[in-house]
Amino acid sequence: MKKLLVVLLSLGLIVAFGMTASAADVKFSGGYYVVGAYMSNPSAVDSNGYSKAFFYQRVRLQPVFQIAEGLTFTARVDALEKQWGNVTWKGGYSDEPLSRKVTPQGGGEPTRGIQENFEFERGYVTFKTAIGGFQVGYQAADEWGTVFGDNGTTRPRILYQLPAGPMTIFAIYEKFYETATATGVNLRKADADYDTYALAGIFKFKGGEAGLLAKYYVDATKRDATLGGYRSNIYLISPYAKATFGPVYFEAEFDYFGGKAAEFDVAGTNKDMAGWGAYALAKVNLGPANVGALFGYSTGDDGKDAAKVTTNPGGGGTSWNPALILMNDDLNTWSGGNSTTSPAGVTSKKQNMMLAQVFGGFDVTPKFNLGAAVTYAKAIEKLTFVDDKLGTEFDVTATYKIYDNLSYMLGAGYLMVGDYFKGASASNQVGNDYLLMNKLTLSF
């Protein structure tokens, strides 16, 4: 049935695209990228390590239907988001399409193949009224201020925005998770949903903007009729600023999470939430060259206080990829996660970490750019590990614009692995890792 619905939706889009402009004007945007990567020692061991070489890609289409003045419908489709040649989801040794098969070869989830190759991620209506503008449906979420802390996810939301001169005010409701009605022993799960509520404001001024977000998370998904059932009621306060002063660009963000990480229904140790993160970037443009520095910080938890959680639950986010190897979420996803991109205690969300970087770039020609960066990172809490040093990374990139919308990038990164990767035993030996990559990016 789900496959039939996908086919019907696809046919509906084809019919809609073929209709005359009198029904709806359609504007397309999207992109395609393919990345080839080689990692020499992703496990960071001193001996008996292994290397990885792989390609991964994504196709994205985002049509916007202009229905009437002030009324649009936006959709987003991701397709063929996968490693080249990866047949894990379908079994066998062929990467040929299995579009007519409901169940992949070798079993597994019956619709997983469809999800990996053709997925409607977003669909929402945008309309303006006399009292402000609205967006309703599955839309972009977890994006605020700077790229720090962002995850670029999709979530069902109702967003209201009201322009007021240089200020825009937002009110947002999000549905994280809806629990089906429960009966009997799990009656509490009938009220085990996860919702968020937010108020925000953005003030624009000459050369920049500043904003403040207040968000309330009501997570009851851990509720049940046992002794371990609890709620989480957490709030986020997040100010940010972006400004340009002559040749200098600056941006910064601060995220503080407070409230109750756990409030138990029956019995248990209630836990307060007190986690935070901070980020700042400054860049100076010097004609064809630029130099700058950035800093990121996200708290961890040493586990010594059973009544408090101090890990920043938002972390640095999956959209913030400060280096080619260290804490690069794209590389972490497609390399399998068990690598120098995501050491134990520093997840792909970039929690429990401090990172500092200096970087620079030079436009050799209007189409050809060279870049370099040096990054140092450590864990805030080393936990039971022998050391807190994640390492120092050296990156270089060369990017050429083949067309205005098509670019090709070559990159190389070398990570001097820190002793945090030894884990809890000082006798473990670590080895350095390097990455060679190339990326073709098309945007339209």
Q: Is 284 helix (H, G, I), strand (E, B) or coil?
A: strand
**Greatest mean pLDDT among 47-51, 81-85, 202-206, 421-425:** 202-206
Greatest mean pLDDT among 90-104, 259-273, 339-353 lies in 259-273
Q: Does 18 fall in a domain?
A: no
Residue 14 lies in a domain: no
Task: Give the span between the Cα atoms of 236 and 242, in whole angstroms.
Answer: 20
Segment 395-411 shows an average pLDDT of 98
User: Residue 148's domain is classified under what CATH number?
Assistant: 2.40.160.100
Please give the Cα distance from 343 to 355 (Å, whole number). 14
5 lies in a domain? Answer: no
Q: How many Å apart are CA 263 and CA 134, to the nearest integer?
A: 34
Give CA–CA dist 257/234, Å, rounded.
7
Distances (CA, A) of 58 to 45, 130, 389: 31, 40, 34
- The Cα–Cα gap between 275 and 296 comes to 14
In the predicted structure, residue 351 carries a pLDDT above the cut 70: yes
Identify the domain containing residue 114 by its residue range. Answer: 27-129+321-444
138/80 same-domain check: no
Dig out the tokens for 331 from the structure. Answer: 């590389």
Residue 13 lies in a domain: no
277, amino acid identity: G
The residue length of the chain stands at 444
The Cα 79–Cα 91 span in angstroms is: 19
Residue 69: phi, psi to the nearest 5?
A: -60, 120
* Of 29, 79, 34, 87, residue with least CA distance to 59: 79
Q: In 10 A of CB 221, how many CB atoms?
A: 15
Asked whether residue 172 falls in the same domain as residue 137, the answer is yes
Compute the CA torsion angle 80, 82, 84, 90 (nearest 10 deg): -90
Q: Are residues 134 and 155 in the same domain?
A: yes
According to DSSP, the residues that pair with 308 across neighbouring strands are 272
Q: Which two tokens stand for residue 387?
A: 């050391």
Beta pairing partners, 271: 262
Which residue in this structure is represented by tokens 């860049």?
A: 283
Residues 404 and 438 placed together within one structural domain of the fold: yes
Identify whether residues 234 and 101 lie together within a single domain. Answer: no
Single residue among 303, 338, 354 that ends a domain in this structure? 303
* Domain boundary residue, one of 303, 338, 360: 303
Residues 282 and 366 in one domain: no
Residues 107 and 180 in one domain: no
CB-CB contact of 56 with 334 (8 Å): yes
Q: Give the DSSP per-residue string, 390-439.
A: EEEEEEEEEEEEEETTEEEEEEEEEEEE-GGGGTT-TT--B--EEEEEEE
11 belongs to a structural domain: no
In a domain, 2, yes or no: no
Inside any domain, residue 21: no
**Which tens digits make up the pLDDT trace of 357-400?**
999 999 999 999 999 999 999 999 988 899 999 999 999 999 99
Q: Is residue 160 part of a domain?
A: yes
Listed residues 303, 334, 362: the one ending a domain:
303
Q: Both 157 and 242 in a single domain?
A: yes
Question: Is 344 in the same domain as 424?
Answer: yes
Same domain, 118 and 137: no
When divided into structural domains, the chain yields a total of 2
pLDDT in tens, 53-88: 999 999 999 999 999 999 999 999 999 888 888 776
Does residue 346 sit in the same domain as residue 244? no
Greatest Cα pair distance in the chain: 72
Number of neighbouring beta carbons within 10 Å of residue 289: 12
123 and 43 in a common domain: yes
Provide the 8-state DSSP code for 268: S
Residue 225 has pLDDT above 80, yes or no: no
C-alpha 387 chain-centroid distance: 28
Identity of residue 124? Y
Residue 318 pLDDT greater than 80, yes or no: yes
Contact yes or no for 354/377 (Cβ under 8 A): yes
Q: What tens digit of pLDDT does each residue of 128-163 get?
A: 999 999 999 999 999 999 999 999 899 999 999 999
Q: Please give the Cα distance from 397 to 55 (Å, whole number).
A: 18
Alpha carbons 389 and 44: distance in angstroms, whole number: 13
Task: Tell me the average pLDDT of the chain.
Answer: 86
> According to the 3-state scheme, what is the secondary structure of 207-234?
CEEEEEEEEEEEECCCCCCCCCCEEEEE
- Condensed to tens digits (0 to 9), the pLDDT of residues 93-104 reads 444 444 444 444
The answer to whether residues 124 and 141 touch, using CB atoms and an 8 Å cutoff, is no
Lowest mean pLDDT among 68-82, 88-102, 246-260, 428-442: 88-102
